[in-house]
Amino acid sequence: MKKLYSSLSMFFFVATIGCSFFALRAEARDILAVGKSITVPAGKTEHDVVVISGSATIEGTVEGDLVVVLGDLELNGRVEGQLVVVGGKVNLGPEAEVKRDAVFVGGEVTRNPQARIEGDVRDILPNLQLPRLQGMWDWINLGLLRGRLLPPGVRWVWIATGIFLLVLMLMALIFKRPLQAGVETIEARPVGSLVAGFLVSLLFVPVLILLAVSVVGLALVPFLVSALMFAFVLGQAVIYQTVGFQFSDKLRAPGFPSLAALFLGATVFILLYMVPFLGFLILKLVTILGVGAVTLAALRRFRREKPAKPQTITFPASAAAAPATAASGAASSPVLAASSLTTAPTSSSPVAPVAPISPIPTEPPFLGAGGTGSAAATLSFTLAGFWIRFCSMVLDFVLVGGILAILQLWPLFPLLWIVYHIGFWIWKGTTIGDIILGIKCVRTDGRSLNAVVAVVRAFSSFFSALAFGLGFFWAGWDQQKQAWHDKIAGTFMVKVSKGVSLV
- Tell me: do 298 and 150 sit in the same domain: yes
Choose the final residue of a domain: 304, 330, 349. 304
Domain coverage including residue 70: 2-132
Per-residue pLDDT reduced to its tens digit, 196-217:
888 888 888 888 887 777 665 6
State the Cα–Cα distance between residues 302 and 387, nearest whole angstrom. 10
Same domain, yes or no: 151 and 128: no
Looking at the structure, tell me whether residues 166 and 297 fall in a common domain: yes
In this structure, the answer to whether residues 299 and 157 fall within a common structural domain is: yes
Residue 17 in any domain: the answer is yes
Reported as a single tens digit per residue, the pLDDT across 11-35 is: 444 444 444 444 444 344 688 887 7
Q: Residue 475 domain-assigned?
A: yes
Q: Are residues 108 and 168 in the same domain?
A: no
What total of structural domains would you count in the chain? Answer: 3
Does residue 377 belong to any structural domain of this protein?
no
Q: Domain check: are 19 and 46 in the same one? A: yes
Instruction: Kindly state whether residue 84 falls inside one of the protein's structural domains.
Output: yes
User: What pLDDT score was predicted for residue 332?
Assistant: 35
Residue 488 lies in a domain: yes
Instruction: Give me the pLDDT at residue 166, please.
Output: 93
Together in a domain, 154 and 127: no
Distance CA(302)–CA(6), nearest Å, equals 54
Question: CA geometry: angle at 268 spanning 267 and 273, to 5°?
Answer: 95
Q: Is the pLDDT of residue 142 over 60?
A: yes
* Same domain as 156, residue 112: no
**Judgement on whether residues 63 and 169 belong to the same structural domain of the protein:** no
| 110 plus 11 within the same structural domain | yes
79 part of a folded domain: yes
Residue pair 366/442 in contact by the 8 Å Cβ criterion: yes
Exposure string over 196-217, b if 16+ CB within 10 A, otherwise e: bbeebeeeeeebbebbebbebb
Q: Is residue 257 part of a domain?
A: yes
Task: Report if residue 361 sits inside a domain.
Answer: no
pLDDT computed for residue 309 by the predictor: 54
**Residue 156: per-residue pLDDT:** 87
User: 121 and 245, same structural domain?
Assistant: no
pLDDT (tens digit per residue) in 239-270: 999 999 988 888 888 778 888 999 999 999 99
Q: Which residue has the higher pLDDT, 109 or 35?
A: 109
* Judgement on whether residues 299 and 184 belong to the same structural domain of the protein: yes
Mean pLDDT of 375-379: 46
Question: How many C-beta atoms surround the C-beta of residue 410 within 10 A?
Answer: 10
